[in-house]
Chain A
Amino acid sequence: MSLLEVSDLTVEYASGGYLIRPIHEFNLSMERGELGILLGASGSGKSTLLSALAGLLRPAGGSIRVDGQEVVGLAGRALTLYRQRGVGVVFQAFNLIPSLSVRENIELVLLTAGYSGHHAHARSEELLGAVDLLAHTRKRPGQLSGGQQQRVSIARALALDPRMILADEPTAHLDYIQVEGVLNILRELADADRTVLVATHDDRLLPLADRVIELTPRKRRTGGPPERRELADGEVLFRQGDEGQLVYAVESGTIQLLREVANGPDEVITEVTSGRYFGELAPLFNLPRSATAKALGQAVVNGLPLDIFRDQMREQGTPVAGPWSAAVEAALLEEGAR
């Protein structure tokens, strides 16, 4: 059985009144001993996914099973126990408690879980020895380098010997010498019983991974073939959160752009009429669609890849020179020839 099973996970939250869905029907399975790299650009939902896996936020839907235990829906003491023993987290900014000594930062986790002071002391010494920091046990975190702090953070994550370690951009604040030490430890953490998932946007970490999970698909050079769509009244062209490769120009009719609102019906952002275009940001920046496009009455739209869209804009000042431009025809012919 996999140690981590994520099925149809959806996380959503309200931002500025709009509903944001950074994780949408996400699936993932990881075996014991695997080290996975969660790769994605800033804002792609890496930290959100880690938060859900760590039991820090409640997903809107789906399931997370860690070592057979369902995490979604845990509450109260069961959730606290999961956070203590089920998962260890290594944070980007180390997040050590500045008023506690290095050793006390680790002891705190053990004492909170109900272990004796004697045991907490022995265990913290053991872990600090393992990350080569025994000489610094009495220091405050602020007296350590970034790499040393990150090693303390790793030792803290291991304090209660969790089955899964989550690391959020663990090398973001480190120089290349410090990075090496931290990467070595992370690699060694994934053993027969433990799974490690590292979120990063730094693809230099990829050689470390047993597998790579991309939250943002790599950008395609071309946006796919052009398409001409005839839409019936109310027909949806694309939905908010979908991947988007084409820019759409309205040949005839009207397209409504709607955004999901946290509490209430979708909000109409704008209506795009004949001769105008929409949906350019998703292919341009490789982002999900930020709104839903729906026909208001019968409508015809031309979907153009970015390069054709740019050519048309440069040459004609509009993406819609006629019902179906020569550039589009040429692109379709080229696509057919392949």
Chain B
Amino acid sequence: MTSVAPLSASPRATYPAAEATPTHPGAIRPVLLTSLRDLQWRIRRFVLAAVATGFVLALALMMSGISNSFSVEVHNTIAALGAQTWLVRAGSPGPFTDPVPLPLRTVAEASRLPGVRRAAPLLVSRAIETTPGASASSDKNVNVLGIEPGRLGSPAVVQGQGLGGGDEIVADESLHLAVGSTVALNGTTFRVVGLTNGITYFAGQPVVFMGLGALNRMDGSSPPVATAVLLDGVPTRTLPGFTALTDSQVRTDLGRPVAQASKTIKLIEVLLWIVAAAIIAAIIYLSALERRADFAVMKAVGTPSWHLFVGLVVQAALLACVAAAIGFLVEAAVAPTSSMAVRLSGADYAAVPVLAVLVGIVASFLPARRAARVDPALAFGAG
């Protein structure tokens, strides 16, 4: 212990004069030092918590994507048909949820209504796509829209060509059909001539466009019928026995079957965020309990209470950030395998870390407050 001797005389003498007074009062560095070192100290628990929270956030993100896809597909489908006004039978809630047949002459009558520039028939139906030789479990529900090729209602294709006539169809990419391939719908074989992108409805069910005549034949309707008239323009009056619906009304109609599911998904999304918050809160609370003696010692040697409070909040925010990053990775890996469309925008991705940090801060509030209020006198009994 020979080096101890100077101590009794030295500390004041060797205290550097230039630093005689603190130069960084209120600095955050000691907060970060203790918080980061503690995370390092309990790294296994931190990683486990981050992974668990990350999976929960990935699920929440997917729920959000699925919920988004419901409104996006409604928008895309209605936009693809290009109508400003939709004419349906009076009393019908809309062209998609309750399609009521109407004679084709209605189209000509509607085209003469004041304010209407163009009119075209639309036949809304459904079919089962079957693959020859495959089991029934591989059959897919598809929404089939019958239109008159080249007229209002013809969709823009991203691959191949527009709809001609006869046995041609234009299908959505989500059906995973190639241009030139054939497909059986309700037992009738059709040839794929073009592909659309993102045109689905009723929770991701793909849309197939075909000629009005072909769809009438497939459905066995004779004489041929339509279920709505697409109008370019806004008529100042309507035909007797018919109702003119706006885009917004049709959107409501198309979204109605999944509205309940959408609400449930949003509820699950909220619950998942609560679970994420609970995981973060539990980890931070446990940490606050375990570090009670440390906090008492830190207060005893002059650490202000707010340092302890902020330290735990910083840990919660870091945990949330890492969990958000893991959530992104998990979502990116899992979403493509989902049978339902998951549509997320940049804003959705940006919102997750922000929301996660906010959730982390809220979740850590109580344990952080508990830490800040620890009795420093415990230091004499600590250890």
Contacts and interface: CB of A to CB of B under 8 A. Distances in A.
B214 to A, nearest CB: 73
Contacts of A2: none
B6 A111 contact: no
A109 B1 CA distance: 25
Interface in A132-151: 132
Given A57-B375, A115-B23, A184-B4, 6 more contacts: A92-B380, A93-B382, A95-B383, A112-B301, A119-B23, A123-B15
Contacts of A108: 30, 33-34, 298, 301, 303
Interface string B6-30: 1111111011100100111111011
A80 B304 contact: yes
Interface residues of B, number: 50
A108 B7 CA distance: 21
A39 B88 CA distance: 98
B6 A130 contact: yes
B294 interface: yes
B301 to A, nearest CB: 5
A92 B22 CA distance: 29
Per CB-CB distance, the 7 closest pairs between chain A and chain B, nearest first, are: A93-B383, A114-B22, A84-B302, A99-B41, A188-B8, A114-B25, A111-B30
B3 interface: yes
Nearest to A129: B3
A146 B303 CA distance: 24
Interface string B294-310: 10011111111001000
Contacts of A189: 7-8
Given A112-B302, A117-B29, A181 B1 contact: yes
A109 B40 CA distance: 20
Given A100-B33, A129-B3, A111 B27 contact: yes
B12 to A, nearest CB: 6
A160 B377 CA distance: 20
A218 B4 CA distance: 35
A107 B34 CA distance: 11
Interface of A: 47, 50-51, 54, 56-57, 77, 80-81, 83-85, 88-89, 91-95, 97-100, 104, 107-109, 111-117, 119, 122-123, 126-127, 129-132, 156-158, 160-161, 168, 181, 184-185, 188-191, 193
A119 B19 contact: yes
B293 interface: yes
Contacts of B247: none
Greatest chain A CB density within 10 A among B4, B23, B299, B375 is at: B4
B29 A111 contact: yes
A91 B380 CA distance: 6
24 contacts: A51-B380, A80-B302, A83-B301, A85-B302, A91-B380, A93-B382, A104-B37, A111-B33, A112-B30, A112-B302, A112-B303, A115-B22, A116-B19, A119-B19, A130-B4, A130-B10, A130-B11, A158-B11, A161-B12, A185-B4, A185-B7, A188-B4, A188-B5, A189-B8
A191 B5 CA distance: 12
Given A91-B383, A111-B30, A129-B3, A84 B11 contact: no
Contact of B302 (A83, A99, A131): A83
B253 interface: no
Contact of A156 (B41, B301, B381): B301
Contacts of A91: 297, 379-380, 382-383
Greatest chain B CB density within 10 A among A57, A88, A99, A190 is at: A99
Contacts of A181: 1, 4
B38 interface: yes
A188 B7 contact: yes
Given A57-B377, A95-B382, A114-B25, A132 B1 contact: yes
